[in-house]
Structure 1
Amino acid sequence: MLSEVEMTKLSGISTLNSNSLNVCFTMSFYMYFDVAMPLTLFAVTLLSVFLNNKAERKLKSTLEEKEFQIKDTVLLVLAMGAAISLMVLIPQMAIMIIFLFSYSMLLFIFTYVFSDFRKTLAETFCLAFIIVSFALILLSFGLSMNSVMSVSAFSALLAFTFIALLYEEVRSSRGERWYLAVLPPALFVFLYMFLGRTPIWFPYLLDLYGVVFAVMITIYLGSLFTWRTSLIFVALLTVLDIILVLFTGTMVSAARHVSSLMLPVLISVPTVPRIMTQWGVLFMSLGLGDFFFAGLIAIQSFKRFGKNFAVLSIFAMSVSFFIFETLILNLGFRAFPGTLMIICGWLPLVFLKKYIR
């Protein structure tokens, strides 16, 4: 969970070192700033809050109204710290398999839980996947990749979707549809396998899936927290983030180790206004954990103080992030704890709300 200054290369994402940043930023008298990532943080967090209101009741019934206790919250933070610390020791192939499986299960669960919609919507869902599969088959011939494997994979997806569409026509029972739930994870895995090293994947599909997973994780885990456990979680996670980013550097090493796989663990956007370096356009990156962190705060603020305070909290967190990001760009930091950048905008609002009427 960190905010990191990055650049793009044809081979993927590489982190700028501090010397490079100093060269780039001290040779000019201009102050560098970026509005793209703060706006992205604002939009994704607001979307998470909006969708959580629509989905929380359904998810809670699926999870049998389970909620984290204080012990569970502490163990979760400790587990996250241990996982991040051990990440650099795990082979990249194993990491790739773990993340692909986890993301696929997340897509399957969400699609399955909400797949009890009307027949017309289910048919539209199938038609959309048929169109996408056919377009990807055509695209496979135009890109320099293993066209035989990719065409076979996307053709199989198209055929399965077509069979699902035919079955939907005669289906009379109600309830969740497993055959629809397998389509999004299958598409995700195929896109990663065959387009993962193409310009289509980074930054477009990578960021798209990053936003999707950030929202899903926020909605899924956000329903398990209460106001009290949320306060404990954000406090412990911020301390952990500061230690792993600023003191041990473990978070930075883990992020580099995983980001080279081009998995959607970060959302990376080019700076606006554009900042150019000798390597190309400068990108700012923020981990999905930080989006979950902001989303959890916003959701709990909504439940505790109402919609207006939640929106104000999201705005304040985005402004705080913008201020810290400006300092990062002009002082040459390679990375900074994203949780600290976010929570500094929220804490003053909570203090004013609770103690100053």
Structure 2
Amino acid sequence: MNIKSFFSCTLLFSSMHVIAQHEVSTYVYSNSFSNIAPVLELAKDEWQTPPKTDADNGFSQTRIGLSYQPSYWQQFTFHIEQRLDYFVKSNPDTALGYYQESNKTPLLSKENYQAKLDYFANRSKGLGITFEHQFELFLLGVKGSYWGVDYFRHSFVSGNVQGREDNSLLGELNYQEYYTHNNFLKRPNNGGWDNSGSGYSFDVFTEFMPWENVLVRASFIDIYNQFTVDNVGFTRANINTKGSFVDNQGFSSFRPLLKGFEGESEHDFRIPEHVAIELSYKQRELSYVANLLRQGDINFVQLGVQLPWGESQIKLLIDPVNLVPQLGYESEWFDFSLAMDKLNPNKAMQLSLAARISILF
């Protein structure tokens, strides 16, 4: 081999190494919203802020993961992830009553509280594979994940409650709950039920340009999913606190009456899908952006601009309905975005964080 051929081969292998590199990334994607109380107070179950008069909905979803894309198989990306999903549907009476009860305040603001609560919690760890293919007119990606459920709880409560000056409650509640650990009645697990389950989910991503200078990106997270917990704790009961009796001291007291079933049960569940569509129109160096999102059965809209900053991109968005600003930064190896409706995160009713750090080698 002559010198010219040697240098030609060296340049060829060097260019192949630059183009086809291994990529390892660590990332977190988290989005939380509540019109009941600040999201961090809900997450910690430490309510310090009175609920809004229209309080009825909230969610928090987080994925934390590590991914690997091999240089020799770049259509595939392999993931190790943990996910946390919380959803709550309620009504203003329940939110107010729970806040007062948590702060040891008698439930006397209303003559009668109409209780309604649907609470869902899931924590799982999983493995996933993403496959991407560039067609002539669009890019398509599909991600499949298998999950092991570490913690699960789904609670339903309905009925009517009245408060008394001594912080006791009168009323009747219908209650149903599936759980691996915590539960309303603090029932202990003495080995009677399982603390785990499993499931799978599919995400779909696409990107295309329908017209010149117009780019469309769409993500459908958990578009299809199914989870099963085979033998979890289960309680179905009617709780009636209106029964009275006379104790040994001759005082009239109230005793809650609990009628129902405690045992174990198989339970199947699904997680609501998360849809995100981004439309961008590029004019010279500036791109105008509109985001349409649906998560936790709630719709969101974001409008803004994206502009270059060196080899990176800066994105400035605002939710015109909830008045939530978002700041984003994107580069080849680092992405970051943050959205909050309050400068103090402890008071935020909406909090969104996304970050990615990648290493190429």
Higher Cα Rg: structure 1 or 2? 2
TM-score, length of structure 2 as denominator length: 0.23
TM-score, length of structure 1 as denominator length: 0.23
Q: Which has the higher strand share?
A: 2
The structure, 1 or 2, with the larger RCO (C-alpha pairs under 8 Å, 6+ apart) is 1
